[in-house]
Structure 1
């Protein structure tokens, strides 16, 4: 198995995208393609509803397939379709701004021309710049994935314009804490709060200093990769558990001992364990999550046998790998591979 980084293999739980899948189903009805969702899921290797984890490449494929088929670049997440080419126009407009705050202002004015159900507000207070997603007169049902995606789009586009992942002061989401709350650490570089008055993204104003400098070629490459580079802006530093995961990923067969990992992160073993508990995980949980996601990625790639995958992940036998994989996912390796083939 090729050496993989955290960003290559990291997954989120299937419930994380549930609101998006419902929106895609409605999007298919709206554009007259009743098979849109089914086709997109099949292309992304997600046709099996029992597949509990979703990888970065699968999210990208699902978005690209759905956006192309529906002609809606926000894939049914808002009441009005966002026609093809809109994001290119948005990015071009933001790139022509003289500063990052000016680019963020252009982001708000762009979306306020297109959205019927929400309005984007930009406010500054105490050296902080806040972007808020405020419902218009008739409060619509909150699409959790849509709210996340709009905030992540703002963060991702600004980060791309700046040439680095911008630090965020706070992220708030206007809905109760879901069971999949831990998945947000994959996307945002700060802990996310829930039950906020409005979904909002806050930056320290001084961190938005500097100009905007991107070429036409870079813009086209960014759009071709969409949504990869604006959803997944930078993963390893978002939490201690992701930093640990990144270190483990550099040490095949991904089973480095606790003292070695703690030293690599500049922590005492007890401190590392305590920090992991505060993130609702454990040392073993991070190791299992990494090996689970690497196994899923390898099974879906279909370039190795199950025996080879089990060996690369450090298992003494295929039987041990099968038991561990079933414990992690509720499925067997063969079932995952068959689902990817549409069997």
Structure 2
């Protein structure tokens, strides 16, 4: 990622979870080896013990990953950490972010990012695509990335996703990720690296997400960019809280799957968030799950009562109620009428029209 990252605290925060695989640190050490440089100082400052490098099961914290990556980028003067055939000098990714900042929407910004990335590193090509309701960013490999392949592909996708979230001030939950290499020994870490399911041995490397995020306007300016560039790496290792499309995504899920979304657990799993996160983010957006359920059920029930002759029991099931009794109680609370009275009254009004 772009930037001067060294507002990073000199000592790690206490109790931070260690989930980042040591394989990514080993990839950074390969970049040092390519330049004939000694990484000992950076490892010490990142509090990474030499013994951890010999254990494939070792993990480091987000702070340690930020620290070792930032120091390596500065010392090697290569923000790509040896991934590509030529170095990306300090500030390269900051330049990409600045070139995308004036775009009217995220879709335009990501197209610029993909195009400009090809100008500074032609070893890979990034492509933004849209198919129906799904957007994807994929990577075409134009040369053998060798031992740095996993770290490169994962980092490029995570960097782009982090910047995209920052640009629109919104979490972008992934529908899935795919990677063209076999599942590594640390495959379980990918549940943290990418939300949604991850498919291995599936080319090209890509992430997919709801295409509606592409239409959101950018919410950042030059001043915000300067602040972000002081601590850019956390965008790639920490989850973004807010989801500005969550209310719309909940509405869509409730409408498309009324029978499968009775409980918060089922709905949260469908949206790839935890139930706690679902409730918290809806509250941040001024909504509630129960309120959205009522809104969608009411609209569905009224549509079926007015446009079909389905029995009340079938209307209740189609609107997502588990039984007719609870539907009738809820409907009367919404309208002051029973479903049968509502249907009869509206049909009577329609008949009176010339």
TM-score (norm 1): 0.61
Of 114, 129, 132 in structure 2, the residue corresponding to residue 126 of structure 1 is 132
- Is residue 112 of structure 1 aligned with residue 118 of structure 2? yes
Of 9, 13, 23 in structure 1, the residue corresponding to residue 30 of structure 2 is 23
Distance 1:124 1:7 in 2: 43
Give how far 1:159 is off.
0.2
Gaps (5+ residues) in structure 2?
1-12, 244-262, 270-354
- Give the direction of change, closer, same or farther, for the CA distance of 1:223–1:48 in structure 2 (3 Å limit): same
- Is residue 163 of structure 1 aligned with residue 163 of structure 2? no
Give how far 1:236 is off.
12
Checking the alignment, whether the CA contact within 8 Å between 2:21 and 2:189 is kept in structure 1 is no
Per-residue deviation, residues 148-176 of structure 1 (Å, max 9, x unmatched):
00000111000001102112222111100
Which residue in 1 is equivalent to 2:44? 42
The structure having more radius of gyration, on CA atoms, is: 2
- Give the direction of change, closer, same or farther, for the CA distance of 1:213–1:173 in structure 2 (3 Å limit): same
Per-residue deviation, residues 29-88 of structure 1 (Å, max 9, x unmatched):
2xxxx21x2221111011323372200100011111111111111221222111111111
Which residue in 2 is equivalent to 1:183? 189
Which residue in 2 is equivalent to 1:102? 108
Which residue in 2 is equivalent to 1:271? none
- Give the direction of change, closer, same or farther, for the CA distance of 1:8–1:165 in structure 2 (3 Å limit): farther
Distance 1:166 1:92 in 2: 20
Checking the alignment, whether the CA contact within 8 Å between 2:176 and 2:195 is kept in structure 1 is no
**Which stretches of structure 1, 4 residues or longer, exceed 4 Å deviation after superposition?**
265-268
Distance 1:106 1:133 in 2: 15
Checking the alignment, whether the CA contact within 8 Å between 1:173 and 1:198 is kept in structure 2 is yes
Give how far 1:207 is off.
2.7
- Is residue 93 of structure 1 aligned with residue 95 of structure 2? no
Distance 1:111 1:20 in 2: 21
- Give the direction of change, closer, same or farther, for the CA distance of 1:188–1:144 in structure 2 (3 Å limit): same
Of 54, 59, 63 in structure 2, the residue corresponding to residue 53 of structure 1 is 59
Give how far 1:139 is off.
3.8
Which residue in 1 is equivalent to 2:230? 224
Distance 2:140 2:14 in 1: 32
Give how far 1:116 is off.
3.0
Distance 1:81 1:152 in 2: 19
The alignment covers a number of residue pairs equal to 231
- Give the direction of change, closer, same or farther, for the CA distance of 1:127–1:13 in structure 2 (3 Å limit): closer
> Larger relative contact order (C-alpha < 8 A, sep ≥ 6)?
1
Secondary structure of the equivalent of 2:51? coil
Give how far 1:199 is off.
0.4
- Give the direction of change, closer, same or farther, for the CA distance of 1:122–1:207 in structure 2 (3 Å limit): closer
Give how far 1:177 is off.
0.6
Per-residue deviation, residues 280-306 of structure 1 (Å, max 9, x unmatched):
xxxxxxxxxxxxxxxxxxxxxxxxxxx
Distance 2:99 2:240 in 1: 24
Secondary structure of the equivalent of 1:9? coil
TM-score (norm 2): 0.60
- Is residue 81 of structure 1 aligned with residue 83 of structure 2? no
Of 205, 208, 212 in structure 2, the residue corresponding to residue 202 of structure 1 is 208
- Is residue 214 of structure 1 aligned with residue 216 of structure 2? no
Gaps (5+ residues) in structure 1?
1-5, 238-264, 269-274, 276-343
Secondary structure of the equivalent of 2:177? strand
